[in-house]
Amino acid sequence: MKIVVIGGGAAGFFAAIQAATANKNAEVVLLEKTSKLLQKVKVSGGGRCNVTNSCSDTKQLSASYPRGEKQLKSAFSRFTTTDTVNWFQDKKVKLKTEVDGRVFPVSDDSQTIIDCLEKEVKKLKIEIKLEADVKKIIPTYSGGFELALASGDRITCNKLIIASGGSPKSENMQWLKELGHEIIEPVPSLFTFNIPNEALNLLTGISVNPIKVKIADTKFEFSGPVLITHWGLSGPTILKLSSFAARNLAEKDYQFKIQLNWLNDKKEEACRNELMNVKAANPHKQVNNHFPFKLPTRLLSHLFIKSGIVETLRWADISKIDIQQLVQNLIYDTYEVQGKTSFKEEFVTCGGISLNDIEFKNMQSKRCKNLYFAGEILDIDGITGGFNFQAAWTTGFIAGNAAASV
């Protein structure tokens, strides 16, 4: 049996390793379009590689995927985060779990994960072909495939696993459409929000946790830590919001309003009453020195200025109208987002092969026998925190084992 894997990323490597492990007699070949392997692994987690997440509850884990939640519930029952940790530790890779649940190699170096995967590939005698640009996939009468490469070479195989990523510009989407698959147009999923020409950006480096963030006129709303940057807003909550609202924001061409409740769950009336009570009880004290809500000093000064309040005034000098304006900026602080910025060097998309075309018990195409999928080529994506790599390991594990079966 000859198994070809297209894609030299995390999912492709793991699928190839599982196929070669499950069937010692199979010839496994991995094709990579570029001259470099495991590039996303290299840059993940700021170069540390966020291998997975410590969340092991299947229901809670699958809820971290805006697209693919339902299908991954069954997939994770076969290979979950604990299996990932055990697999790497069995290969002598020491891992650590950080307070937020993210799992990294103890070395804090993504090269540790790359070396592990490459060592396994070498041990299993998996052939790697670099700069192998597949231009066409032709099903054969025997139930296998012939791959036409840009170089003019032809490769035949009995089973084919596609793990070539989810780039919107990728030619592989066209191959798969020609084979009868429905393609959900890929759009960016994890990104930060650009808010140009706003005084807020002068507060670079301030982190507030928790605050509630809502995309105006939508159902998308999350609470948690937010980081103010020189271009706008970032941090786990913004990235989660960008992930769940990815398609909605693409339709808006990344021009939308965002609403921040700096006091998280505090309601307008409760906020107003608290401020009025402080005013009544402390008329001769300075507003900035006797403020009821704990916020970073620079952020509070920004909100006072935005509300037209001189923060060194006494509470007695602050009118009800001033207080109402301050309440609005504390509870409904609104900004115009104009564009996005990729999160560090990581590029995640939603979109790809429609999940309706996939049999998740073996990751096989429902449209084309002996064709399997793994990783971001699928319409699956997770929030930041190791979840996208976990989807790659899980789908790669299932696809590789299924393809190796006779």
Whole-number Å distance between alpha carbons of 296 and 227: 12
Check residue 45 and give its pLDDT: 87
Check residue 78 and give its pLDDT: 95
Check residue 343 and give its pLDDT: 60
Within 10 Å of residue 180's Cβ, how many Cβ atoms? 11
Helices (H) and strands (E) in the chain, counts: 13, 22
Whole-number Å distance between alpha carbons of 172 and 155: 16
Which residues have a Cβ under 8 Å from the Cβ of 19 and sit 6 or more positions away?
A: 3, 5, 26, 28, 159, 161, 400, 401, 403, 404
Check residue 170 and give its pLDDT: 63
Check residue 277 and give its pLDDT: 97
This prediction's pTM: 0.92
Q: Would you say 116 and 105 are in contact if contact means Cβ atoms under 8 Å apart?
A: no
Look at residues 378, 396, 400 and name the one whose alpha carbon lies nearest to residue 182: 378
pLDDT in tens for each of the 406 residues of the chain?
999 999 999 999 999 999 999 999 999 999 999 999 999 999 988 899 999 999 999 999 999 999 999 999 999 999 999 999 999 999 999 999 999 999 999 999 999 999 999 999 999 999 999 999 999 999 999 999 999 999 999 999 999 999 998 765 567 788 899 999 999 998 999 999 999 999 999 999 999 999 999 999 999 999 999 999 999 999 999 999 999 999 999 999 999 999 999 999 999 999 999 999 999 999 999 999 999 999 999 999 999 999 999 999 999 999 999 999 999 999 999 999 999 987 654 568 899 999 999 999 999 999 999 999 999 999 999 999 999 999 999 999 999 999 999 7
Check residue 169 and give its pLDDT: 59
- Residues 123-153, buried b or exposed e (16+ Cβ, 10 A)? ebebebeeebebeebeeeeeebbebebeeee
Whole-number Å distance between alpha carbons of 315 and 324: 14
Which residues have a Cβ under 8 Å from the Cβ of 250 and sit 6 or more positions away?
A: 187, 188
Helix, strand, coil tally for the chain in percent (to 5)? 35, 25, 40
**Per-residue tokens: 8:** 């030299």
The pairing of strands 95-97 and 102-105 is: antiparallel
Query: Token match 């592990």: residue?
Result: 116
Whole-number Å distance between alpha carbons of 20 and 37: 18
- Residues 29-65, buried b or exposed e (16+ Cβ, 10 A)? bbbbbeeebbbbbebbbeebbbbbbbbeebeebbebb
Q: Please, what is the Cα angle at 281 between 276 and 283, to 5 degrees?
A: 85
In the DSSP assignment, the letter for residue 139 is E
Check residue 2 and give its pLDDT: 98
**Per-residue tokens: 232:** 């706008």
Whole-number Å distance between alpha carbons of 5 and 147: 11
SS3 sequence of 46-78: HHCCCCEECCCCHHHHHCCCCECHHHHHHHHCC
Helix (H, G, I), strand (E, B) or coil at 39: helix
Q: Would you say 377 and 233 are in contact if contact means Cβ atoms under 8 Å apart?
A: no
Domain annotation for the chain: domains and CATH numbers: 2-188+350-404 (3.50.50.60), 191-342 (2.40.30.10)
Q: Please, what is the Cα angle at 80 between 78 and 84, to 5 degrees?
A: 115
In the DSSP assignment, the letter for residue 38 is -
The pairing of strands 2-6 and 27-31 is: parallel
In the DSSP assignment, the letter for residue 405 is -
**Per-residue tokens: 291:** 């403020």
Check residue 396 and give its pLDDT: 98
